[in-house]
Amino acid sequence: MNVTHLECSLCGLRHEARKLQNLCTECGKPLLVRYDLRAAGQTLYPQTLKQRESSLWRYREVLPVDDWANVVSFGEGWTPLLSASAVATKLDKPVTLYIKDEGQNPTQSFKARGMTAAISMAKELGVRKVAVPSAGNAAGAMAAYAARAGMEAFIFMPADTPRANIIECEQTGANVTLVDGLITDCGKIVAERKDAEGWFDVSTLKEPYRVEGKKTMGYELAEQLNWELPDVILYPTGGGTGLIGMWKAFDEMEAMGWIGSKRPKMISVQSATCAPIVRAFHAGERFAAEFENAATVASGLRVPKAIGDFLILDAIRASEGTAVAVTDEELVAAVKEIGALTGIFTAPEGAACLPALRKLIEDGFIEGGETVVIFNTGAGVKYLECFEE
């Protein structure tokens, strides 16, 4: 195991690694896992990966689990990077377009990546009961991984979460509470009750390991593109865990000598009716204020306030990227456009990247000739309500 310690992402305070904990004890911001990358690189390098399993655990040297027996897995990750040239031909500039199809993960979204890491670590550290506030897919993933680990799961979701998410949690044995409010209201309930109930809080970025699972998207992208990162990444952003994770992965790979210092432009995509990151980015702010009356059918994007806001905004700026909002009408229409052209039935969150890409081409941010990757973060089949006439 190559973990050296956990480090506060804002104040830098060092925290002990082999201990159950949530946020920085000084400033209340997210903790990030730090590794001895020199040691990791002894056995993990591009050539050794060829023989590894087709799951994100192929990168085990840069993942936090100590005892292999504690890994709780359904074979998540190592999703295909699919060419989307049929979509690219409909754009006004020539780009090489790929879709990283995260809808092919267990529980049909990339939340499986975070949960395999979080639940494996919870198991390793002796947790029996886990709780999470969720906009939808995180709940489904946590319920499944908790059931597989033999843990009790407590889930708090907005009452208008897509039906599929509610049903999958119930059918995999979780205790589900529907809340008349947003994910932030659900988070408050978990925070208030967790100590009395003995729950470990698995909220995104309030727990140090989900981001480790999600960072593997960055490793996979590099590996699948033969260690040449794309020019542009479009990422539908809620809590921002995947974007923050990929940014961390790029630095780790550079430290191990696998890639150079060039980074993709990171583009955060949000719904116009819940766009705290887009608003803060264009206002030049480092922290994003809560977005009032947040609403969008792309439930994974319905996060009015993200605890990792500064990490998202720092990464976007360091990458010379930007943040783009699209309307719900645009993102729902894009599901069908992508579906008809590529055969991929995307989640509305992932589809939002297409109208965002069009806007970037229109305003000249994308000039033509770039390699562009869209993250389809989930599967459209979980959002049937969106497509009912």
Ligand X SMILES: *Cc1c(COP(=O)(O)O)cnc(C)c1O
Please state, in angstroms and as integers, the Cα–Cα distance from residue 157 to each residue in 185, 194, 285, following that order.
9, 16, 29
Handedness of CA 144, 374, 236, 57 (dihedral sign): positive
Q: To the nearest whole angstrom, how small is the minimum distance from the Cβ of residue 174 to ligand X?
A: 16
Q: Which residue has the tokens 């201990």?
A: 19
Single-letter amino acid, residue 239: G
**Nearer of residues 147 and 277 to ligand X, judged by Cβ:** 277
Q: To the nearest whole angstrom, how small is the minimum distance from the Cβ of residue 141 to ligand X?
A: 9
Phi/psi of residue 209, nearest 5 degrees = -105, -20
Q: To the nearest whole angstrom, how small is the minimum distance from the Cβ of residue 147 to ligand X?
A: 19
Q: Which residue has the tokens 């909002």?
A: 325
**Nearer of residues 242 and 355 to ligand X, judged by Cβ:** 242
The closest residue (CB) to ligand X is 300
Bin 243: left if φ > 0, else alpha if -120 < ψ < 50, else beta: alpha
Q: Cβ distance 164 to 382 under 8 Å?
A: yes
DSSP 222: H
**Nearer of residues 124 and 210 to ligand X, judged by Cβ:** 210
**Nearer of residues 22 and 237 to ligand X, judged by Cβ:** 237
**Nearer of residues 2 and 271 to ligand X, judged by Cβ:** 271
Q: Cβ distance 247 to 143 under 8 Å?
A: no
Q: Quick one: tokens of 32?
A: 């990030």
Q: To the nearest whole angstrom, how small is the minimum distance from the Cβ of residue 30 to ligand X?
A: 12
**Nearer of residues 204 and 322 to ligand X, judged by Cβ:** 204
Q: To the nearest whole angstrom, how small is the minimum distance from the Cβ of residue 157 to ligand X?
A: 12
Vertex 111: Cα angle to 295 and 184 (nearest 5): 40
Residue 70 CA to residue 64 CA, distance in Å, equals 11
Q: To the nearest whole angstrom, how small is the minimum distance from the Cβ of residue 247 to ligand X?
A: 12
Q: Quick one: tokens of 174?
A: 């979780």
Residue 107 CA to residue 17 CA, distance in Å, equals 29
Q: Quick one: tokens of 204?
A: 């995104």
Q: Following CA atoms 154, 156, 161, 167 in sequence, which dihedral angle do they give, to the nearest 10 degrees?
A: 20
**Nearer of residues 73 and 241 to ligand X, judged by Cβ:** 241
Q: To the nearest whole angstrom, how small is the minimum distance from the Cβ of residue 377 to ligand X?
A: 3
DSSP string spanning 144-176? HHHHHHT-EEEEEEETTS-HHHHHHHHHTT-EE
**Nearer of residues 146 and 244 to ligand X, judged by Cβ:** 244
**Nearer of residues 194 and 382 to ligand X, judged by Cβ:** 382
Q: To the nearest whole angstrom, how small is the minimum distance from the Cβ of residue 65 to ligand X?
A: 21
Strand order in the sheet with 232-236: 81-83, 96-101, 371-376, 232-236, 265-271, 322-326
Q: Which residue has the tokens 């967790």?
A: 194
Of 3, 59, 64, the C-alpha closest to 34 is: 3
**Nearer of residues 120 and 204 to ligand X, judged by Cβ:** 204
Q: To the nearest whole angstrom, how small is the minimum distance from the Cβ of residue 240 to ligand X?
A: 5
Tell me which residues touch ligand X (CB under 6 A).
Answer: 109, 111, 137-138, 204, 236-242, 300, 347, 349, 377-378
Q: To the nearest whole angstrom, how small is the minimum distance from the Cβ of residue 102 to ligand X?
A: 8
